[in-house]
């Protein structure tokens, strides 16, 4: 619905048409978007025309960008810690003595 409204204002019926939902269900979705300040509805006779107001979306994107940087930094630190831990565990598990001599193959064993 938001993508459709980004192109031009649409009636509730036009917004509901691509989806398998009733006009009442579409209206409920639109009311949520209105509550978020993303959609403005105007009554023209019997038709309700909806318009997109993208300003709240912009503010939301700015908020998400801030937290994207925050979480990327935190995840980079976590990745570094996990790589260090993996390397330490691999070093501890590595055999410190000479490897055992290879066992004779099955063919060589049967010749004994």
Q: Is residue 110 part of a domain?
A: no
Q: Judge whether 23 lies within some domain.
A: yes
CATH of the domain at 35: 1.10.10.10
- On whether both 43 and 17 belong to a single domain, the answer is yes
- Structural domain boundaries, residue 71: 55-91
Residues 57-90: pLDDT tens digits?
A: 888 898 899 899 999 999 999 999 999 999 999 9
> Does 38 share its domain with 75?
no
The reported pLDDT for the residue numbered 73 is 94
CA distance 53 to 108: 81
In whole angstroms, how far apart are CA 68 and each of 14, 73, 103? 35, 9, 55
pLDDT in tens, 10-66: 999 999 999 989 989 999 999 999 999 999 999 999 999 999 998 888 888 988 998
What pLDDT is stored for residue 99 in this prediction? 58
Q: Is the pTM of this model over 0.75?
A: no
Tell the residue number behind the tokens 């993508």, with chain if given.
Answer: 3
* 106 has a pLDDT exceeding 70: no
pLDDT for 15 equals: 94
């Amino acid at each position: 619905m938001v993508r459709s409204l980004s192109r031009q204002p649409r009636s509730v019926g036009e917004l509901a048409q691509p989806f398998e939902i009733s006009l009442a269900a579409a209206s409920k979705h639109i009311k949520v978007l209105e509550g978020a300040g993303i959609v403005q509805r105007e009554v023209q006779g019997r038709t309700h025309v909806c318009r997109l107001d993208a300003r709240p979306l912009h503010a939301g994107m700015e908020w998400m960008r801030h937290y994207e940087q925050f979480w990327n930094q935190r995840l980079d630190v976590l990745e570094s810690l996990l790589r260090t831990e993996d390397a330490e565990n691999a070093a501890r598990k590595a055999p410190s003595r000479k490897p055992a001599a290879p066992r004779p193959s099955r063919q060589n064993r049967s010749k004994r």
